[in-house]
């Protein structure tokens, strides 16, 4: 064998070695790195840290999805009623809408609030989208009261969907929900709810409770319950459940469920689950059902009558736009 043939043979062996061992290791390194440093448990810890440092603000990417949903809703609200001075006026409540539980006209609106406070200069646009000022919140509650609406629980509505029977006028009923456990819900929203005789469901994630100034304390959550409010499960760490494996999803639901019972007892628990970010899929829904919940709530993707999927009931997420709130009653 010539010198060149020997070198060629050696080079081929080296090349084969590289292709067989070194290159595969190099290609798999990113996956090994992500497995070591970004396991689901670490991902939840990272998400938890995001909430801690931004007063329970939402992950940018998924918050963007919620923004997109909101834009889709608002794009349908083009025919806002104006008076001669150009001011927004209340939509006309028609006789059709007053028909007692006519199946062709039932439209139970479910609203989702987050923070109820004035905006701050440090609030970014994605945070501002989910802040309702106390003034606007009171205007909305006054509108409901002046037009003869009452609040019902999500469980009340689910019972109607299951049985087709109810003792109250669903066309004059709304469902009020509050997500995450913000302190402003207790300090600002609760007094207004009490003023108008309304109730709501507060879906909390317990990891923030008693820890951060932006969140309620367990004593405040107990006081919500004493004032007739219901407390619901929103996972332990506000986790976007489709991202995680089944064990983690179950833990997020089970741990928070028990913490809520420990705080307020079973009588004040709303036996309905709220998906963080509205994020769910078939697997997640089956896991939620396994905990014997009556149903679950997500977010609305378009302006339409409430659907009948008990484990993905839709909510309109509200911010500061009072015109948008009004148009939903048209």
β-strand partners of 76: none
CA distance readout (Å), 8 to 4, 16, 17, 199: 6, 12, 14, 82
CA distance 27 to 31: 8
Mean pLDDT of 136-164: 95
Please tell me which of 54-58, 78-82, 299-303, 324-328 the model is most confident about, judged by mean pLDDT: 324-328
Per cent of the chain over pLDDT 90 is 59
Mean pLDDT of 237-266: 96
Q: Which residue has the higher pLDDT, 299 or 12?
A: 299
pLDDT at 288 over 70: yes
* pLDDT score, position 20: 54
Mean pLDDT of 161-174: 89
* pLDDT score, position 1: 52
Return the residue matching tokens 């219901």. 230
**And the tokens for 293?**
């919940």
pLDDT at 94 over 80: no
Q: Which residue has the higher pLDDT, 118 or 94?
A: 118
Please tell me which of 19-33, 166-180, 289-303 the model is most confident about, judged by mean pLDDT: 166-180
Q: Which residue has the higher pLDDT, 130 or 46?
A: 130
CA distance 53 to 49: 6
Q: Which residue has the higher pLDDT, 160 or 62?
A: 160
CA distance readout (Å), 233 to 2, 154, 163, 252: 77, 13, 24, 10
* Architecture in CATH for domain 44-327: Alpha-Beta Barrel (3.20)
pLDDT bucket at 56, cuts 50 / 70 / 90: very low
CA distance 209 to 4: 74
* pLDDT score, position 286: 97
Write out pLDDT tens, residues 206-235. 999 999 999 999 999 999 999 999 999 999
pLDDT at 318 over 50: yes
Mean pLDDT of 167-194: 95
* pLDDT score, position 23: 52
The answer to whether 160 touches 167, Cβ cutoff 8 Å, is: no
pLDDT at 105 over 90: no
Give the range among 62-71, 75-84, 312-321 with minimum mean pLDDT. 75-84
Mean pLDDT of 56-66: 44
Write out pLDDT tens, residues 2-53. 444 445 444 555 555 555 555 555 544 444 444 333 344 444 444 444 344 3
Mean pLDDT of 114-124: 94
pLDDT bucket at 166, cuts 50 / 70 / 90: confident
Local structure of residue 92 (DSSP, 8 states): P
* pLDDT score, position 15: 54
pLDDT bucket at 330, cuts 50 / 70 / 90: confident
Angle between helices 246-264 and 40-53 (to 10 degrees): 50
In sequence order, what E strands does 2-154 have? 109-113, 115-116, 131-132, 150-151
CA distance 188 to 326: 21
CA distance 1 to 93: 98
* Count of Cβ atoms closer than 10 Å to residue 53 Cβ: 10
Mean pLDDT of 256-281: 96
Mean pLDDT of 167-175: 90
């Amino acid at each position: 064998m010539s010198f060149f043939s020997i070198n060629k043979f050696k080079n081929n062996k080296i090349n084969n070695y590289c292709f067989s061992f070194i290159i595969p290791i190099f290609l798999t390194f990113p996956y090994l790195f992500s497995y070591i440093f970004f396991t689901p448990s670490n991902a939840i810890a990272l998400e938890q840290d995001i909430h801690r440092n931004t007063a329970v603000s939402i992950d940018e990417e998924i918050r963007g999805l919620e923004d997109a949903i909101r834009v889709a809703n608002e794009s349908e609200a083009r025919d806002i009623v104006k008076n001669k001075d150009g001011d927004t006026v209340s939509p006309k409540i028609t006789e059709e809408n007053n028909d007692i539980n006519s199946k062709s006209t039932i439209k139970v609106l479910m609203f989702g609030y987050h923070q109820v406070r004035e905006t701050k200069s440090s609030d970014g646009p994605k945070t501002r989208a989910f802040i309702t000022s106390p003034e606007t919140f009171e205007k909305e509650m006054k509108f409901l009261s002046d037009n003869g609406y009452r609040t019902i629980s999500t469980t009340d509505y689910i019972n109607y969907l299951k049985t087709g029977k109810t003792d109250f006028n669903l066309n004059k009923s709304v469902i009020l929900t509050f997500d995450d456990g913000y302190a402003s819900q207790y300090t600002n929203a609760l007094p207004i709810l009490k003023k108008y005789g309304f109730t709501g469901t507060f879906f909390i994630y317990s990891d923030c409770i008693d820890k951060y100034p932006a969140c309620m304390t367990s004593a405040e959550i107990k006081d919500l319950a004493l004032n007739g409010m219901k407390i619901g499960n929103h996972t332990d760490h506000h986790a976007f459940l489709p991202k995680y494996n089944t064990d983690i999803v179950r833990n997020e639901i089970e741990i928070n469920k028990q913490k809520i019972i420990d705080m307020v007892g079973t009588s004040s628990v709303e036996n309905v689950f709220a998906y963080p970010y509205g994020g769910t899929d078939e697997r997640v829904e089956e896991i939620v059902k396994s905990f014997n919940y009556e149903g679950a709530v997500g977010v609305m993707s378009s302006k339409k009558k409430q659907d009948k999927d008990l484990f993905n009931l839709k909510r309109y997420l509200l911010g500061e736009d009072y015109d948008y709130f009004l148009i939903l009653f048209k």
